Amino acid sequence: MLTEIAEVVTVKKYGSNTNLIKVHAPGIASKAEPGQFCNIKVSETNFPLLRRPFSICEVKGEHLFFMFDIQGEGTSILGCKKKGDKLNILGPLGNGFNTGIEFDTAVIVAGGIGAAPFPFLLSRLKKKKVICLVGGRSEAQIITYGMKNIYISTDDGSNGFKGTVVQLAERIKDKFTGGKVQFFACGPNAMLKALKQFCMENNFSCQVSTESAMACGFGICQGCPMPAANEEKYYLVCKDGPVFNAKDIIL
Amino acid sequence: MLTEIAEVVTVKKYGSNTNLIKVHAPGIASKAEPGQFCNIKVSETNFPLLRRPFSICEVKGEHLFFMFDIQGEGTSILGCKKKGDKLNILGPLGNGFNTGIEFDTAVIVAGGIGAAPFPFLLSRLKKKKVICLVGGRSEAQIITYGMKNIYISTDDGSNGFKGTVVQLAERIKDKFTGGKVQFFACGPNAMLKALKQFCMENNFSCQVSTESAMACGFGICQGCPMPAANEEKYYLVCKDGPVFNAKDIIL
Amino acid sequence: MSGINLKVKIGSLELKNPVLLASGTVGYGNEISQFTDLSKIGGIVTKSISLKPRKGNPPQRIVETHGGMLNAIGLANVGVEEFINSKIPFLKEVNSTVICNIAASSVEEYVECTRILTEEDAIKAFEINVSCPNVKDGGLEFGHNPSAVGTITGRVRGATNKPVIIKLSPNVSRISDFAKIVKSEGADAVSAINTLVGTAFNIWTKKPKIKNITGGLSGPAIKPVALAKVLEISRNVDIPIIGIGGIMNWQDAVEFMIAGAAAVELGTVNFVNPNAGIEIINGLTEYCEKINIKEIKEIIASYQL
Amino acid sequence: MSGINLKVKIGSLELKNPVLLASGTVGYGNEISQFTDLSKIGGIVTKSISLKPRKGNPPQRIVETHGGMLNAIGLANVGVEEFINSKIPFLKEVNSTVICNIAASSVEEYVECTRILTEEDAIKAFEINVSCPNVKDGGLEFGHNPSAVGTITGRVRGATNKPVIIKLSPNVSRISDFAKIVKSEGADAVSAINTLVGTAFNIWTKKPKIKNITGGLSGPAIKPVALAKVLEISRNVDIPIIGIGGIMNWQDAVEFMIAGAAAVELGTVNFVNPNAGIEIINGLTEYCEKINIKEIKEIIASYQL
Ligand SMILES: Cc1cc2nc3c(=O)[nH]c(=O)nc-3n(C[C@H](O)[C@H](O)[C@H](O)COP(=O)(O)OP(=O)(O)OC[C@H]3O[C@@H](n4cnc5c(N)ncnc54)[C@H](O)[C@@H]3O)c2cc1C
Ligand SMILES: Cc1cc2nc3c(=O)[nH]c(=O)nc-3n(C[C@H](O)[C@H](O)[C@H](O)COP(=O)(O)OP(=O)(O)OC[C@H]3O[C@@H](n4cnc5c(N)ncnc54)[C@H](O)[C@@H]3O)c2cc1C
Ligand SMILES: Cc1cc2nc3c(=O)[nH]c(=O)nc-3n(C[C@H](O)[C@H](O)[C@H](O)COP(=O)(O)O)c2cc1C
Ligand SMILES: Cc1cc2nc3c(=O)[nH]c(=O)nc-3n(C[C@H](O)[C@H](O)[C@H](O)COP(=O)(O)O)c2cc1C
Ligand code: FES
Ligand code: FES
């Protein structure tokens, strides 16, 4: 974990509301693991006050990529960055996906901008079988960047299966074969909750990257609790997560 | 007075810390008088919260020019504007210089960025004799943009007369001849105070453009009081000024 | 026009919409009318008036802070007589609801001002400022003393038949205790909040940036505090509330109404965007359409705790 | 090194410089030590400790506001025993002054915590949090009740020989009244301020954005209020003050010291810039050089009113 002043290299539009920013941050890039995130100060002033957390989307050499949707003031400012601008970045933060476990097939489940951490993860899964399920409200929210072997769902049916990405998983579950199957998911907590249910019923192991409001991003504010499943306590999303084994938490 | 969304045309550096911004604001441009000011929102967010007041430096057709020094966050943001950016501007505000009175020779006295309103004023004094006294802490603060027949003073003697611009006036006062002499001054209130003293002693009529912290710029907050000389009351700098007859106020 | 009804009532006072311009941030209406159409605004609360004119505090009176500003205007105002002679005529023409804000240094002065001004047809209600933090001989002590606030309320109540709104100070432990007292003394409504006491220093001169030493903090910085005060009153006292504090846009106005406000007042935003009132009114209409309600008043105190 | 002396004293407690990290914004020191060199910091105030572990409030616990943030952590902490076993060992190695903050729900619990923890050599002083706005069964009532605050102070005083600092609530009419009482009950110093009570609503769900309904407002938005409270105490009570509230940079720290603070605590800024403490310490040195003083303590309460 370190604080790095990173130079912006490019900001590219991807789809209607999604942006991909590339920054030069050799220190963080050399340490990052898939599923970890960075906490980014989007301005040099006190406005907005807090940093904004973003998953590490890709690492290429000394460069980091973040993929983000414009939500509010923080992401708007980030979307307006130009080549040469400086960003103050804390990272890499949190615990990423555990790929050290045994598995043969990875099922990726991404909801909307929840696609962000997967290009990095997939770059580490070159030797595995991979199936990607990508969901969104409608076609405009479908992000397949860096994915392969893709199945799509949209709530309104404008692209692929009509329904949620978890309903899609249910539908195509006979494809989840090929040795030991491991789910990796990221998206709104409601989606993760439904997916956890699906995985429990079908006996799939599932890692989820969760979201929470955050102030610090590294464990000092206690602002990001996630109820533990087996103990009367909260984990911290920023420090104990953002990736959890779905069965360890109450979504 | 109106609210106009003006497009930035150019931002140019003038000297080390001074900037000249040109914006397209036909509505305000058509109404502006020398010595009036505009209250500018430098960002589209609530940070910084308040508008920033700037004298109208020049009007050319549908364009307004403002000259400003980088002081703090507001002027820093303004200095970073690019062609095509939009600025929300209130103006023209306040009472400008009164040029409808009888005089033959105009003596301009400008301290530092106090030079800002004079290019516009001088464009209206083409038929008068004009003498310009320009002062600053040192050479870097001397702004002669749009001036003519110039005498310079610096506190440290790095350019022109060594001393204040009012001491310079004292030194060269035998040049203030040619019919009825009218002073027009703008600069820090301390300079204006000394100049008022000088003008009283020498019987020159003097108009001063004053400064004050401002919230609204058009008379609703009562934030910008200026003590009246002959009555137990305050004028408002934004509404009754910023230009006053020096003898009417207590500087 | 959309079929949305923006009318609200503050006791017996009907407002065509819940957006008022706050005392001290709109003067007597004339200057701001050059930038906005006051006839569309729910109501105008005039700058605090005292019996005699007040010169106000010496400069510097204001300073910007992060997300806010401090002011110590010192209730500069023209006094009751000049108000009637030169300000009311303009206000009569405006076609908005005029609420007259009164600030005084003694109970007698409050009563006297009310007694004189209640004769003016143009004035539809009174807002009694017992909470200005910048006047040394008045305001502060009143605003922090429940029995003084009660007395003023009762006496002003006796001096007019028009609706009486008491503007409460936020610089107290429990603002709802004050709301209870003013309700029991006959007030029709409360407005909350006035500014928070604050200060700022120049680190080179070591002097306060404001001549009066302390000033009142307003603007978006104080919005969370103001909302909590409105909610506290709403949960504890059955009295109409006018919500004030840091409202910059229609979303903020909605937040206040959800927290319990029957109407809102816009303060500092007027300095930055003198047309904010109308933009907020338009935003409220759109909000009603989006959440599919016909009358804005349905959202008052609609919080789901 | 420059010849500037940054040492200050809070009663008998010597600090190598006046910059402390505030309770609840630095945890127990371990996480932030990855981003900053804690041995350079004047002192670390640990997260409020209660006798038994506290789980804290359910999410959502925090929300950003303009220039600030609301939090309702609910004093999540590991409890005294675990604190001693697993946190103190790290703190011992840090080479900074450790101040232990205690929060409790009863006078007895305050005393018990102090009695146990005073045995720990690593702890150099206690900061007693009587003002956390987010704990329903404790904090709030204490913090707003002068006699309760007095009782806690006296009893804690009796339980330790180490310096006792009482952390005051800003959500009261006159904070200096509380400072007077705690002084008379033997406190060595006060710290001011804790957070302001605030709230925020989601306008679509009509629910509070924070599960606890209200939270504590911190950050630059509250700086003017915090400064005014520090100044009020400084002008009325002769007791060392630790200034807290919205400090983001060394200029802010200087402002607090001018207003009366003998030291300052950094809160929210740690989340944004975990190295802020050291940057501020460097800034203080430069400031002393610029205004040509040898000892930072000369600026304490140097206001020119
Ligand atoms: C571990 C983690 C990883 C994330 N990765 C990504 C990513 O790769 N790409 C991406 O687009 N988004 C990601 N997000 C969400 C992203 O942080 C928010 O979209 C962003 O903070 C919104 O900021 P804003 O100022 O634009 O929005 P605003 O709505 O103005 O934000 C206001 C406040 O709410 C907080 N907030 C708003 N939405 C969220 C949210 N969904 N999660 C947490 N806090 C929120 C903000 O931090 C801020 O304090 C991630 C969140 C977390 C916790
Ligand atoms: C009528 C009038 C005309 C002006 N014309 C010009 C001009 O043409 N060119 C120019 O460079 N400057 C001019 N100024 C001063 C200019 O407004 C300030 O330099 C500017 O507001 C500083 O903003 P900031 O955010 O960069 O500085 P900051 O120091 O960060 O400002 C903080 C706060 O102090 C206020 N403030 C700071 N300095 C001044 C000041 N000197 N006068 C009033 N308020 C101040 C700001 O408005 C703001 O609220 C004028 C001021 C007035 C009142
Ligand atoms: C410059 C200024 C002057 C004010 N004058 C008065 C006043 O005369 N009487 C009064 O009751 N409130 C006065 N107020 C308080 C406002 O009416 C309002 O309660 C406060 O500013 C909070 O709202 P805001 O955050 O929207 O500004 C004044 C506020 C400001 C900023
Ligand atoms: C997330 C968070 C948690 C806090 N927890 C505590 C606490 O446990 N005990 C305490 O005395 N103060 C606590 N505080 C208050 C801070 O110590 C400090 O008084 C307050 O935040 C104001 O300072 P700031 O504006 O610099 O943050 C907390 C503040 C924040 C933001
Ligand atoms: S975000 Fe601060 S502890 Fe997790
Ligand atoms: S700046 Fe508001 S009255 Fe002058």
- DSSP conformation class of B112: G
Fold of A2-93: Elongation Factor Tu (Ef-tu); domain 3 (2.40.30)
Confirm or reject contact between C25 and chain B (CB < 8 A): yes
pLDDT of residue A115: 96
Quick one: average pLDDT of A61-72? 96
pLDDT of residue C132: 64
CB contact under 8 A, A220 and D26: yes
Confirm or reject contact between C270 and chain B (CB < 8 A): yes
**Crossing angle for the helix pair D223-236 and D250-258, to the nearest 10 degrees:** 30
Which residue's entry shows tokens 């802010």? D252
**Which tens digits make up the pLDDT trace of C23-32?**
999 999 999 9
| Spatial CA neighbour of B79 closest among B8, B7, B139 | B8
Domain ranges of chain B: 2-93, 105-248
Confirm or reject contact between D203 and chain A (CB < 8 A): no
pLDDT of residue D135: 53
In this chain, the answer to whether the domains covering A2-93 and A105-248 adopt an identical fold is no
Q: How distant is the Cα of C211 from the closest Cα of chain D, in angstroms?
A: 8
Q: How far apart are CA A73 and CA D275, in angstroms?
A: 25
* Annotated catalytic residue D132: yes
Which residues are CB-neighbours of C161 under 8 A, at least 6 positions away? C118
Q: How many residues does chain D have?
A: 305
Instruction: Measure C279 CA to ligand 6 centroid, in angstroms.
Output: 22
Quick one: average pLDDT of C198-207? 98
Which one of B1, B46, B232 has the shortest CB-CB distance to C34?
B1
* CB of C22 closer than 6 angstroms to any ligand 3 atom: yes
Beta strands in chain A (DSSP E): 2-14, 18-24, 37-41, 52-55, 58-60, 63-69, 86-93, 105-111, 129-136, 150-154, 161-162, 181-186, 205-209, 225-227, 234-236, 243-245
Which residues are CB-neighbours of C146 under 8 A, at least 6 positions away? C177, C178, C181
**Which tens digits make up the pLDDT trace of B125-138?**
999 999 999 999 99
Pick the more confident residue, C106 or B212.
Answer: B212
CB atoms within 10 A of CB B81: 17
3-class DSSP string for C177-191 = HHHHHHHHCCCCEEE
pLDDT of residue D144: 87
CB contact under 8 A, C27 and B220: yes
CA dihedral C112, C116, C117, C119 (to 10 degrees): 140
The sign of the torsion formed by the CA atoms of B151, B156, B162, B166 equals positive
Q: Which residues of A touch B (CB under 8 A)?
A: 45-47, 73
**Crossing angle for the helix pair C146-159 and C175-184, to the nearest 10 degrees:** 30
Q: How far apart are CA A94 and CA A109, in angstroms?
A: 20
Q: Indicate the burial class of A234 (C-beta count within 10 angstroms; 0-12, 13-18, 19 or more).
A: buried
Which residues are CB-neighbours of C289 under 8 A, at least 6 positions away? C2, C4
Architecture in CATH of B105-248: 3-Layer(aba) Sandwich (3.40)
Compute CA C189 distance to the chain's CA centroid, rounded to the nearest angstrom. 12
Quick one: average pLDDT of D131-149? 69
* CB of A212 closer than 6 angstroms to any ligand 1 atom: yes
**pLDDT over 90 for what percent of chain C?**
92
**Which tens digits make up the pLDDT trace of D90-123?**
999 999 999 999 999 889 999 999 999 999 999 9
**Which tens digits make up the pLDDT trace of D185-235?**
999 999 999 999 999 999 999 999 999 999 999 999 999 999 999 999 999
**Which C residues 205-224 touch B at CB under 8 Å?**
219-220
Instruction: Measure B221 CA to ligand 6 centroid, in angstroms.
Output: 5
Instruction: Measure C25 CA to ligand 3 centroid, in angstroms.
Output: 6
Chain D partners of A41 at a C-beta cutoff of 8 Å? 272-273
Q: How far apart are CA B166 and CA B246, in angstroms?
A: 14
pLDDT of residue A178: 79
pLDDT of residue D99: 98
Closest C-alpha to ligand 1, atom 25: A74
Q: How far apart are CA C292 and CA C281, in angstroms?
A: 17
Measured between alpha carbons, how far apart are the two ends of chain C, in Å?
Answer: 34
Confirm or reject contact between D66 and chain B (CB < 8 A): yes
Position A68 pLDDT exceeds 60: yes
Q: What is the mean pLDDT of chain B?
A: 95
Q: How far apart are CA A7 and CA A22, in angstroms?
A: 9
Q: How far apart are CA A220 and CA A217, in angstroms?
A: 8
Minimum CA–CA partner of A47 in chain D: D67
Pocket test for ligand 5, best of A38, A39, A224, A226 (most atoms within 8 A of CB): A224
pLDDT of residue C105: 87
User: Which tokens go with D250?
Assistant: 């060394």
CB atoms within 10 A of CB A96: 24
pLDDT of residue B66: 98
**DSSP letters spanning A112-124:** GGGGTTHHHHHHT
Q: How far apart are CA B229 and CA D186, in angstroms?
A: 54
Which one of B46, B213, B221 has the shortest CB-CB distance to C63?
B213
User: Which tokens go with D264?
Assistant: 């300052």
Instruction: Measure A52 CA to ligand 1 centroid, in angstroms.
Output: 6
pTM over 0.90: yes
Q: What is the mean pLDDT of chain A?
A: 95
CB B27 within 8 A of CB B85: no
Measured between alpha carbons, how far apart are the two ends of chain A, in Å?
Answer: 27
Calculate Rg over the CA atoms of chain C.
Answer: 18
D189 phi/psi in degrees, rounded to 5: -165, 165
Quick one: average pLDDT of D121-149? 78
**Which tens digits make up the pLDDT trace of D22-66?**
999 999 999 999 999 999 999 999 999 999 999 999 999 999 999
Confirm or reject contact between D146 and chain C (CB < 8 A): no
Q: How distant is the Cα of B76 from the closest Cα of chain A, in angstroms?
A: 11
Instruction: Measure A11 CA to ligand 4 centroid, in angstroms.
Output: 36
Quick one: average pLDDT of B10-19? 90
Pocket test for ligand 4, best of D31, D102, D129, D195 (most atoms within 8 A of CB): D195
Q: How distant is the Cα of C12 from the closest Cα of chain D, in angstroms?
A: 27
Which residues are CB-neighbours of A86 under 8 A, at least 6 positions away? A5, A6, A7, A8, A44
| Spatial CA neighbour of B1 closest among B213, B208, B239 | B239
Sheet holding C215-218, edge to edge: C62-65, C68-71, C215-218, C196-198
pLDDT of residue D133: 61
3-class DSSP string for chain D = CCCCECCEEECCEEECCCEEECCCCCCCCCCHHHCCCHHHCCEEECCCECCCCECCCCCCCEEEECCEEEECCCCCECHHHHHHHHHHHHHHHCCCEEEEEECCCCHHHHHHHHHHHCCCCCEEEEEEECCCCCCCCCCHHHHHCHHHHHHHHHHHHHHCCCCEEEECCCCCCCHHHHHHHHHHCCCCEEEECCCEEECCECCCCCCECCCCCCEEEECHHHHHHHHHHHHHHHHHCCCCEEEECCCCCHHHHHHHHHCCCCEEEECCHHHHCCCHHHHHHHHHHHHHHHCCCCEHHHHCCCCCC
**Which tens digits make up the pLDDT trace of C9-46?**
999 999 999 999 999 999 999 999 999 999 999 999 99
> What's the complex ipTM?
0.96
Q: How far apart are CA A86 and CA A27, in angstroms?
A: 15
Q: How far apart are CA C106 and CA C141, in angstroms?
A: 11
Minimum CA–CA partner of B73 in chain C: C66
Q: How far apart are CA D60 and CA D63, in angstroms?
A: 8
Longest dimension (CA), chain B: 53
Minimum CA–CA partner of D292 in chain C: C204
Q: Indicate the burial class of D255 (C-beta count within 10 angstroms; 0-12, 13-18, 19 or more).
A: buried
CB C285 within 8 A of CB C242: no
Minimum CA–CA partner of B48 in chain D: D67
Quick one: average pLDDT of C107-118? 96
Confirm or reject contact between A28 and chain D (CB < 8 A): no
Band of the pLDDT at C101, cuts 50, 70, 90? very high
pLDDT of residue D139: 44
- Kindly provide the b/e burial profile for residues C109-122, where b requires at least 16 CB atoms within 10 angstroms of the residue's own CB: bbbbbbebbbebeb
- Coil, strand or helix: which one is C260? coil
Q: How far apart are CA A177 and CA D87, in angstroms?
A: 47
Instruction: Measure C44 CA to ligand 3 centroid, in angstroms.
Output: 13
| Spatial CA neighbour of A68 closest among A29, A12, A120 | A12
Q: How far apart are CA B107 and CA D164, in angstroms?
A: 66
Q: How distant is the Cα of B47 from the closest Cα of chain C, in angstroms?
A: 7
Band of the pLDDT at D301, cuts 50, 70, 90? very high
Chain B partners of C24 at a C-beta cutoff of 8 Å? 221-222
Please report all neighbours of B, defined by 3+ CB atom pairs within 8 A.
A, C, D
Position A84 pLDDT exceeds 90: yes
**Which A residues 155-174 touch D at CB under 8 Å?**
none
Instruction: Measure B218 CA to ligand 6 centroid, in angstroms.
Output: 5
Q: How far apart are CA C304 and CA C140, in angstroms?
A: 35
The Cβ-side half-sphere exposure at A77, using a 13 Å CA radius, reads 20
**Which tens digits make up the pLDDT trace of C128-180?**
999 766 554 444 567 888 999 999 999 999 999 999 999 999 999 999 999 99
CB contact under 8 A, D204 and C291: yes
**Which tens digits make up the pLDDT trace of B24-40?**
999 999 999 999 999 99
- Nearest atom of ligand 6 to the alpha carbon of C27: 3
Bridge partners for D197 per DSSP: D216
Q: Indicate the burial class of B69 (C-beta count within 10 angstroms; 0-12, 13-18, 19 or more).
A: middle
pLDDT of residue D17: 98
CB D143 within 8 A of CB D103: no
B-interface mutation test, from A46, A47, A83, A85, most B Cβ less than 10 A away? A47
The Cβ-side half-sphere exposure at C166, using a 13 Å CA radius, reads 34
Catalytic residue among D100, D113, D132, D288: D132
Chain C partners of B49 at a C-beta cutoff of 8 Å? 64, 67-69, 219-220, 268, 272
**DSSP letters spanning C159-171:** H-SS-EEEE--SS
Which helix (DSSP H) or strand (DSSP E) does residue C287 occupy? helix C276-290
Architecture in CATH of D8-57+76-197+218-299: Alpha-Beta Barrel (3.20)
Q: How far apart are CA D62 and CA D216, in angstroms?
A: 9
Pocket test for ligand 6, best of B40, B214, B234, B240 (most atoms within 8 A of CB): B214
Quick one: average pLDDT of D262-291? 98
Please report all neighbours of D, defined by 3+ CB atom pairs within 8 A.
A, B, C
Query: Rounded to 5 degrees, what angle do the CA atoms D120, D123, D126 make?
Result: 115
